[in-house]
Amino acid sequence: MPSKDKNSMQLLQGTLDLIILRTLSAMGPRHAYQISTRLQQVSDSLLQLNQGTLYPALVRLEQYGWIKGSWGMTENNREAKFYAITKAGEKALAEEKARWRQMAGLVERVLLEEH
Protein backbone atom coordinates (compact mmCIF):
# COMPACT_ATOMS: atom_id res chain seq x y z
CA MET A 1 0.00 0.00 0.00
CA PRO A 2 1.67 3.22 -1.13
CA SER A 3 1.71 5.84 1.59
CA LYS A 4 0.70 9.23 0.24
CA ASP A 5 2.62 12.38 1.02
CA LYS A 6 -0.04 14.93 1.76
CA ASN A 7 2.05 17.88 0.65
CA SER A 8 2.81 16.61 -2.77
CA MET A 9 0.47 17.09 -5.64
CA GLN A 10 -1.67 14.09 -6.22
CA LEU A 11 -1.26 12.64 -9.66
CA LEU A 12 -4.35 11.95 -11.68
CA GLN A 13 -4.82 8.32 -12.53
CA GLY A 14 -2.88 7.63 -15.70
CA THR A 15 -1.11 10.99 -15.74
CA LEU A 16 2.14 9.49 -14.58
CA ASP A 17 2.00 7.00 -17.43
CA LEU A 18 1.45 9.81 -19.89
CA ILE A 19 4.39 11.82 -18.57
CA ILE A 20 6.72 8.83 -18.67
CA LEU A 21 5.73 7.96 -22.21
CA ARG A 22 6.14 11.56 -23.30
CA THR A 23 9.57 11.80 -21.70
CA LEU A 24 10.80 8.61 -23.33
CA SER A 25 9.34 9.62 -26.66
CA ALA A 26 10.97 13.07 -26.62
CA MET A 27 14.31 12.19 -25.06
CA GLY A 28 15.00 8.64 -26.14
CA PRO A 29 15.88 5.72 -23.86
CA ARG A 30 16.31 6.71 -20.24
CA HIS A 31 16.81 4.86 -16.98
CA ALA A 32 14.52 5.27 -13.97
CA TYR A 33 16.69 7.82 -12.22
CA GLN A 34 16.81 10.02 -15.30
CA ILE A 35 13.07 9.76 -15.71
CA SER A 36 12.44 10.81 -12.13
CA THR A 37 14.85 13.74 -12.43
CA ARG A 38 13.09 14.78 -15.57
CA LEU A 39 9.75 14.55 -13.79
CA GLN A 40 10.96 16.86 -11.08
CA GLN A 41 12.29 19.39 -13.56
CA VAL A 42 9.12 19.40 -15.56
CA SER A 43 6.93 19.80 -12.52
CA ASP A 44 9.10 22.52 -11.00
CA SER A 45 9.42 20.22 -8.00
CA LEU A 46 5.71 20.40 -7.41
CA LEU A 47 5.60 16.65 -7.78
CA GLN A 48 7.41 15.58 -4.65
CA LEU A 49 6.91 11.92 -5.25
CA ASN A 50 9.19 9.36 -3.77
CA GLN A 51 11.36 8.24 -6.59
CA GLY A 52 10.46 4.64 -5.92
CA THR A 53 6.82 5.35 -6.80
CA LEU A 54 7.96 5.31 -10.37
CA TYR A 55 8.65 1.58 -10.42
CA PRO A 56 5.12 0.23 -10.36
CA ALA A 57 4.29 2.53 -13.28
CA LEU A 58 7.33 1.27 -15.22
CA VAL A 59 6.32 -2.33 -14.60
CA ARG A 60 2.80 -1.60 -15.69
CA LEU A 61 3.89 0.10 -18.90
CA GLU A 62 6.33 -2.67 -19.64
CA GLN A 63 3.59 -5.24 -19.18
CA TYR A 64 1.35 -3.29 -21.53
CA GLY A 65 4.13 -3.53 -24.07
CA TRP A 66 4.46 0.27 -24.35
CA ILE A 67 8.02 0.45 -23.11
CA LYS A 68 10.86 -1.99 -23.15
CA GLY A 69 13.64 -2.24 -20.60
CA SER A 70 17.21 -3.39 -21.31
CA TRP A 71 20.38 -3.27 -19.26
CA GLY A 72 23.17 -1.02 -20.39
CA MET A 73 26.00 1.18 -19.14
CA THR A 74 25.80 4.88 -18.37
CA GLU A 75 28.44 7.45 -19.41
CA ASN A 76 30.20 7.04 -16.09
CA ASN A 77 30.23 3.29 -16.43
CA ARG A 78 27.44 2.31 -14.12
CA GLU A 79 24.97 -0.35 -15.16
CA ALA A 80 21.32 0.69 -15.37
CA LYS A 81 18.09 -0.48 -16.93
CA PHE A 82 17.25 1.76 -19.86
CA TYR A 83 13.63 2.09 -20.85
CA ALA A 84 12.70 2.85 -24.44
CA ILE A 85 9.27 3.58 -25.87
CA THR A 86 7.94 0.97 -28.31
CA LYS A 87 5.83 1.43 -31.40
CA ALA A 88 2.74 0.46 -29.45
CA GLY A 89 3.84 2.96 -26.85
CA GLU A 90 3.99 5.77 -29.39
CA LYS A 91 0.53 4.90 -30.55
CA ALA A 92 -0.75 4.76 -27.01
CA LEU A 93 0.92 8.07 -26.27
CA ALA A 94 -0.89 9.70 -29.19
CA GLU A 95 -4.18 8.31 -27.98
CA GLU A 96 -3.56 9.28 -24.39
CA LYS A 97 -2.52 12.75 -25.46
CA ALA A 98 -5.72 13.21 -27.43
CA ARG A 99 -7.78 11.93 -24.54
CA TRP A 100 -6.00 14.19 -22.12
CA ARG A 101 -6.59 17.27 -24.26
CA GLN A 102 -10.22 16.38 -24.63
CA MET A 103 -10.52 15.88 -20.89
CA ALA A 104 -8.60 19.05 -20.03
CA GLY A 105 -10.69 21.04 -22.47
CA LEU A 106 -13.85 19.70 -20.94
CA VAL A 107 -12.78 20.47 -17.40
CA GLU A 108 -11.69 23.93 -18.49
CA ARG A 109 -15.09 24.59 -20.05
CA VAL A 110 -16.86 23.47 -16.90
CA LEU A 111 -14.67 25.72 -14.79
CA LEU A 112 -15.34 28.69 -17.07
CA GLU A 113 -19.09 28.16 -16.83
CA GLU A 114 -18.91 28.59 -13.10
CA HIS A 115 -18.21 32.29 -13.45
Partner 1 sequence: MRAIRRLVIRMRSLFTNERQEAELEREIAGHLSFLEDEFRSQGMSAEDARLAARRAYGGVDQVKQMHREERAFQGMARLTMDLRYAWRQLRQSPGFALMAVLMLALGIGATTTIFSIVEGVLLRPLPFPEPGRLMMLGDVLEGSNCAFCSQPRVTATDVRNYMRDSHSFTHLGGYQEVAYELSGNGEPLAIDAARMSGETFAALGTQPLLGRVFTQAEDDQNAPLAVLSYGLWQTRFHGDAGVLGKKILLARKPYTVIGVMPRDFAFPLIQGRLDQSQLWVPMSPEPWEFAAGSAASWRMRMVGRLAPGVTPEQAQQDAERVAQATMRDYPAFMSSLRIRAVVKPLREDTVNGARPLLRTLFFAVVVVQLIACANLAGLLLVRSIGRRREIAVRMALGARAGALLRQAVVESMLLSLAGGVLGLMLAWMALRVGVSLLPETLPRLQEIGLDWQVAIFALAVAVLTGFVCGLAPAFAAIRTSVNETLKQGGRTGTAGGGHTRLRTILVVGEIAVAMVLLTASGLLLRSFEKMREVDPGFQPDHTLAALYVLPLMHYATQDGIDRFNDQLLEQLRALPAVKAVGISSMLPSAGNSIGVSVIPDGYVSAKSEGLHMVAPSMVLGDPFAALGIRMLRGRAFTDADKAGAPLVAIVNHKFAEHYWPGQDPVGKRIRRGMPETVSPWMTVVGEVDDVKLGAADDKTMEQFYQPATQLVASEGALASAGELDADDGWIVVRSAVPPRQMEDALRSVVQRIDPQLPLYQMQALQDVVAESEAPRRFNTTLITSFALAALLLSVLGIYSVIAFSVAARRQELAIRVALGCRRTRILRLVLTSGLKVALAGCALGVLGAAAASQLLRSFLFGVSPFDPLVLGLSALGMLSVAFLASALPAKRAALVDPLLAVRSE
Q: How far apart are CA 95 and CA 48, in angstroms?
A: 27
CA dist., res. 86 & res. 92, Å (int): 10
Q: Which stretch binds partner 1 (CB under 8 A): 12-20, 22-30, 74-82, 105-113?
A: 74-82
Q: Which stretch binds partner 1 (CB under 8 A): 8-16, 21-29, 76-84, 99-107?
A: 76-84
22 or 62: CB nearest partner 1 = 62
- Cβ atoms of 42 and 34 within 8 Å: the answer is no
Helix orientation angle between 87-113 and 15-27, rounded to the nearest 10 degrees: 130
Distance in Å, CB of 6 to partner 1, minimum: 15
The amino acid sitting at 12 is: L
Q: Does 72 bind partner 1 (CB under 8 A)?
A: no
8 neighbors 47 (Cβ within 8 angstroms): yes
- Of the candidates 26, 28, 81, 95, which one interacts with partner 1 according to CB under 8 A? 81
d(CA 45, CA 8): 9
Indicate which single residue of 9, 12, 26, 59 sits in contact with partner 1 (rule: CB under 8 A).
Answer: 59
**Shortest distance, CB of residue 97 to partner 1, whole angstroms?**
17
Residues engaged in binding partner 1 (CB under 8 A)? 2-3, 31-33, 50-53, 55-56, 59-60, 63-65, 76, 78-81
